[in-house]
Structure 1
Amino acid sequence: MIAFHAPEQETSRFRHRVVAGGAFALVCFMLLAARFYYLQVRQFEYYHTRAEDNRIALLPIVPNRGMIVDRNGVVLARNYAAYTLEITPARTNGLEQTIDALSEVLTIDARDRRRFRKLLEESRSFESVPIRNRLSDEEVARFIAQRYRFPGVDVQARLFRDYPLGASASHVVGYIGRINQRDLERIDEGEDAANYRGSDYIGKSGLELSYETELHGKTGFEQVEVNAGGRAVRRLSSTPAVTGSDLELTLDMELQKIAETAFGNRRGALVAIEPTTGGVLALVSTPTFDPNLFVDGISTQDWKELNDSPDHPLLNRAIYSAYPPGSTFKPFMGLAGLTTGKRTAAQTIADPGYFNFAGHRFMDDKVGGHGVVDLHKSIVVSCNTYYYQLANDLGIDGIANFMAQFGLGARTGLDLPGEAEGVLPSPAWKKKRFRRPEQQRWFGGETISVGIGQGYNAYTPLQMANAVAALVNDGKVFRPHVVRYVVDTRTGNKRMIEPEPVRQIALKPEHVAAVRRAMVEVNKSGTGARAFAGAPYEVGGKTGTAQVYSLKGSRYVEGQVRERLRDHSWFIAYAPADNPKIALAVLVENGGFGSQSAAPIARQVIDYHLLGKRPNQPAPEDADAVESSD
């Protein structure tokens, strides 16, 4: 039997279905509209930014590094552009296979491979690492033609640092090197991390390190539209990089070269300062090194030669190495005696050739002594006995307090990294230096040795030069500096590094004059006379000899001592005597008497600075010099 439904029931059911379906569709459309509203309106900025990030790449523009020039415009550090072949390890199909295949296209020798591996250890896998630098145009074209074979390998245009004078003044200028993990950590901890995006190099030593902020410049940025494959399509905007500031130094490179040449193959240091400003005219440490070796990443062989050399060419002896000053300490001791009232200029002593103290005999260099000695004679003939007695009268605290005013035993504040403090001995210093109570006790005999520049005394050539500058500048101590101007490369404006007075030592003019007269006589009839014979100007100075090891009462005979155990040779000087334009300290390691090695070097430097006279050869070692004491 067939069942029939009433039309009204069928129509009602259909209407309910339509309403339910319509309501369901309406709810779906409302949810979709709400989602569209949320995404297109409420989250517009977020998704727009993400889309733009996918479409736009922000590329850093590395700034040109500032140049370094001397006071006369001689270039010490500059930049040049060149092509490099670089590998991104994470993008290659096999690093060693890639390098082997590349060597069939371009010359890649064993040295390139060693340097690459060393740089690879200091880099991250997603960073590109150079395997060849300074590609020729022909080599670039040869690689580009086969570029498709080498994923992860590309040619980049890079700026390279160049030091055109090579090893000359390298300890002052320093060098740059690739940024390693330790550098990255230091950069990330600072406030300038964004400024190093894209940068591969950073200052490692010398002025390149201490003036890194000024030399580096400001990194620029370029907005580039990229496709889905990450390749640039067009440039949208650009913020140019700001070239780093140039540095104009107080250094006179001609004077620097003459000083370096004067040393010949000898080890040592020289610092020459302009007394009225503290500007460093020359700062020499020999032997030296070529900073260009470090720019591309120094090879293992070159590093081994420099690092293992017994002459330590990487050591900046002028500011880091501290030596006993020997008799160059005596003018300051004499001034201390006058200033404290322990001596007058006319007061004399009888020098029998020794000084007895606590049952020990401290010997003078001259057998039989110098007879009757006053302040003037004590400096001219370098009489030890005079200063043995003076040291005993002043006491160690009196000596230390006076010498500290000249900056001895403290960092001068020079604008180069790595300066040492040196040692100005005192009972307080000894307590800090030694641990055991019996070692901390100060003995009277130690004061006697300090009085002639021996014992625990140890100062850098920089400290001695700065002390001489203060002496001839009537007690005004300046902070020495190597940079004279920081030059804005955009505007040409120069920011002067102003001379910075540190302190004024209370000295009486007549006391300073008495010491300076004696120092002038040193180079006329005393221990420096041979080196300055025939000089058309007056120069004040003092020779010095510093013991390397204890003689234990025996007499020093140079020819019977191994070369590296021989005495160090010192000479301090200023010229011209009446209006000093230069004050300097010269140290020749194991050079013997001060007049024998150090004084002839000072003569060549002063001759050039005052007269423009150029020597024909290195300063001679005056083997015939007759010197009973210095």
Structure 2
Amino acid sequence: MRFHRRLLSAAVALLPLALVVGATGPEHPASAGASEDGGVGAPSVGAAAPASESDAGSSGSAAVSAAAVLGGESPDGGLAALAAEPGMVPPVPVPSREKAPPIAKVKPLPRSVDLMARATLEGGKLVVKEKGGKKQRLTIDPVLQASLTKILRSYETPYGAAVVLEPSSGRVLALAEHSAARPELRGLPVRAVFPAASIFKVITGSALLEAGVTPETEECFHGGKRRISEKHLQDSERDASCYSLALAMGRSANVIFAKLTNKHLTVDALRRMAARFRFNREIAFPVPTDVSLAAIPEETFGLANTGAGFGDVYLSPLHGALVAAVAANEGRWVDPILFEPEGPAPLLPAEGEPVLTPEVARDLTALLEETVTSGTARAVFRERGFRVEDAVGKTGSLADREPFRDYSWFVGFAPKDKPRVAVAAIIVNDPKWRIRGTWLGREALRLGLERLPAPVEVTAPASAAGKP
């Protein structure tokens, strides 16, 4: 089987460019560094030691039940069966994260497809003129867009982007960006040139929940705070600390996710979950959006390392907001929308495509809540005067070494029970910095909720109660 998958990788590498999904984006060289563990933004260094083919346990009865709801897992039919499932293999070779970072080679989005650069303000709406003179209104909220752009410019972010959307409909409310390092650069919200880092724990956590691991399931560990090695995957008498899965998500504990991946997930289970979340797949959007590439290796340590957020995985900010929206939509994927519908008809909630069962989505939301209430984003979300009630999310951080670049992420949504806004924020900093992704993500949530207030619930007068 390993031989067939290697053969598949070689075959994919030879695909003609015309057949590559999402090949409109930049080249994707790799990024160095490693994801966070515990504190917000502490870069760490992950060891890489290839091991034998994964012998992790099967997904269990919970996965069988979910698979039935979501269409099931195809029998292992070899090369053809693997290639036939969308997203199971990357459409282009995925570079090593420890080589030249892709952001170093990213090119500006051509103006012909950069709708945000071409849009003009008319009657309080952003409008784009198409060929033939027809005008289309964008879903973008001009006030929110301007507020987030002003933040990025005021803090002179070397590279930064924030995406805000309405999860139920997919309506995109903001695609803000700025680069002080390269002022001519455009299109950062749709470029998958940012290492996903610990944001990938959202996908790993979903796969673990589907495999029967509960938010309360505990795993014990020792070490692994800054570096993961093969020895950390094994239980030891030195394992003096124990975290539940929920706490491990909140504190972004790499070693816990590596151990749980090793014990409960197969390579196919993690690949399939990543594919459901649209990794290695095109995202339909009027602005050409890079495919978020994810290489999930078969080797035991490589698989566990990827599950912990150290893998060769890249993510665009737009995709990051859509990942958060899956949990907000009770497990459904809703495509992003940038054009307002013509006529008076409002944009209604979309039915969406099942990614997770509602039960798994609710458990995933509980995991993400830990990030804000007791985990890596707690301090930022408790800042007086800037709190966002009932927010949930995930942080991520990673560092390139030479030249130094600090990537920091936040994806999430609010309010937890009746989500109105989902966001993604990414900041790439130099050694000296002013804001990071978690702070920007909180502001995107806070400002987005101000611009999209909760609907007014109309209750019948008491005197009318019980009347037909």
TM-score by length of 2: 0.62
Equivalent in the alignment of 2:455:
none
Matching residue of 2:446: 607
Q: Distance in 2 between matches of 1:542 and 1:595?
A: 20
2:319 to 456, 463, 468: 463
Q: Give the secondary-structure state (helix, strand or coil) at the position aligned to 2:341.
A: strand
Deviation string 1:262-301 (CA, Å, 9 cap, x unpaired) is: 223111211111100011111122228xxxxxxxxxxxxx
Alignment of 1:148-167 (within 5 A): none
Task: Find the partner of 1:544 among 396, 399, 412.
Answer: 396
Indicate if the aligned counterparts of 1:422 and 1:460 stay in contact, CA closer than 8 A. Answer: yes
What amino acid is aligned across from residue 422 of structure 1 in structure 2?
Answer: S
Q: Decide which of 206, 215, 225 is 2:115's aligned counterpart.
A: 206
Q: Which residue of 1 aligns with 2:193?
A: 322
Deviation at 1:313, TM superposition (A): 3.0
Indicate if the aligned counterparts of 1:569 and 1:592 stay in contact, CA closer than 8 A. no
> Tell me, what secondary structure is at the counterpart of 2:293?
coil
Cα offsets for 1:394-439 (capped at 9, x unmatched) = 132211101211112322111113x111212135xxxxxxxxxxxx
Whether 2:148 is the aligned partner of 1:259: answer yes
1:215 aligned residue: 129
Out of 426, 439, 449, the residue aligned to residue 587 of structure 1 is: 426
- The 3-state SS of whatever aligns with 2:400 is coil
Report matched runs for 1:122-521 at 5 Å: 175=111, 203=112, 205-206=114-115, 215-216=129-130, 218=132, 244-263=133-152, 264-266=155-157, 267-287=159-179, 311=182, 313-341=184-212, 343-354=213-224, 360-361=230-231, 371-393=241-263, 394-417=265-288, 419-426=289-296, 442-486=298-342, 493=343, 501=351, 503-509=353-359, 511-521=360-370
Which letter does structure 1 place at the counterpart of 2:318?
Answer: L
Preserved contact between residue 409 and residue 458 of structure 1 (Cα < 8 Å): no
SS in structure 1 at match of 2:314: coil
Partner of 1:589, secondary structure, is strand
Distance 1:287 1:349 in 2: 41
Cα distance between partner residues in 2 of 1:513 and 1:595: 35
> 1:208·1:215 contact (CA, 8 Å) conserved in 2?
no
Q: Which has the larger radius of gyration?
A: 1
Q: Is the 8 A contact 2:209 2:363 kept in 1?
A: no
Q: Does the CA contact (< 8 Å) of 2:215 and 2:366 recur in 1?
A: no
1:497, distance to aligned residue in structure 2 (A): 7.4
| Aligned counterparts of 1:395 and 1:507: Cα–Cα separation in 2 | 20
The alignment partner of 1:531 has SS state of helix
Q: What SS does the corresponding residue of 2:381 show, helix, strand or coil?
A: coil
Name the SS of the counterpart of 1:567 in structure 2: strand
Instruction: Quote the Cα distance in structure 2 between the aligned partners of 1:362 and 1:383.
Output: 12
Percentage of pairs with the same residue: 22
Q: Distance in 2 between matches of 1:359 and 1:521?
A: 26
Quickly say closer, same or farther: Cα 1:278–1:371, change in 2 above 3 A: same
User: How many Å apart are 1:593 and its aligned residue?
Assistant: 12
- Give the Å deviation of 1:259: 1.2
Q: Which has the higher helix share?
A: 1
Partner Cα distance (1:336, 1:467) in 2: 14
Q: Which runs of 5+ in 2 are unaligned?
A: 1-107, 120-127, 453-468
8 Å CA contact retained: 2:404, 2:430: no
Q: Deviations over 1:177-215 (max 9, x none)?
A: xxxxxxxxxxxxxxxxxxxxxxxxxx46436899xxx93
Q: TM-score, normalised by structure 1?
A: 0.47
Paired residues of 1:474 and 1:512 also in contact (CA < 8 A): yes
Q: Structure 1 residue 455: deviation in Å? A: 1.9
Preserved contact between residue 191 and residue 316 of structure 2 (Cα < 8 Å):
yes
Quote the Cα distance in structure 2 between the aligned partners of 1:423 and 1:516.
Answer: 24
Alpha-carbon distance, 1:605 to partner = 2.1
* More RCO (CA 8 Å, sep 6+): 2
C-alpha distance in 2 between matches for 1:459 and 1:527: 20
Query: What amino acid does structure 1 have at the position aligned with 2:376?
Result: T
**Residues 1:521 and 1:360: Cα distance change in structure 2 (over 3 Å):** closer
Mind listing any 5+ residue stretches in structure 1 that lack a counterpart? 1-170, 176-202, 219-243, 289-309, 428-441, 487-492, 550-561, 614-630
Offset, 1:494:
6.1
Aligned residues: 325
Change in 2 beyond 3 A, CA 1:383/1:370: farther
Contact 1:571 1:586 in 2 (8 A): yes
Letter in 1 for 2:379: R
Q: Is the contact between residue 161 and residue 189 of structure 2 (CA under 8 Å) also seen in structure 1? A: yes
In structure 2, what residue type is equivalent to 1:248? R
Question: Given that residues 216 and 245 in structure 2 are in contact (C-alpha distance below 8 angstroms), is that contact kept between their aligned partners in structure 1?
Answer: yes
| Structure 1 CA distance for aligned equivalents of residues 347 and 450 of structure 2 | 28
SS at match of 1:610: helix
SS of equivalent residue, structure 1 residue 391: helix
| Inter-partner Cα distance in structure 2 for 1:446 and 1:595 | 34
**Letter of the 1:206 counterpart:** L
Q: Aligned equivalents of 1:544 and 1:359: distance in 2? A: 20
The one-letter amino acid of 1:321's match is A
Q: How many angstroms apart in 2 are the aligned matches of 1:388 and 1:525?
A: 21
What are the Cα deviations for residues 323-346 of structure 1, in whole angstroms up to 9, with x where unaligned? 2212222233122111122x2232
Q: What is the rounded CA distance, in whole Å, between the counterparts of 2:433 and 2:300 in structure 1? A: 28
The separation in 1 between residues aligned to 2:313 and 2:200, in whole angstroms, is: 9
The structure with the greater share of residues assigned to strand is 1
**Aligned-partner residue type, residue 450 of structure 1:** T
> 1:323 and 1:525 mapped to 2: Cα distance?
26
Q: Compute the displacement of 1:351 (Å).
A: 1.5
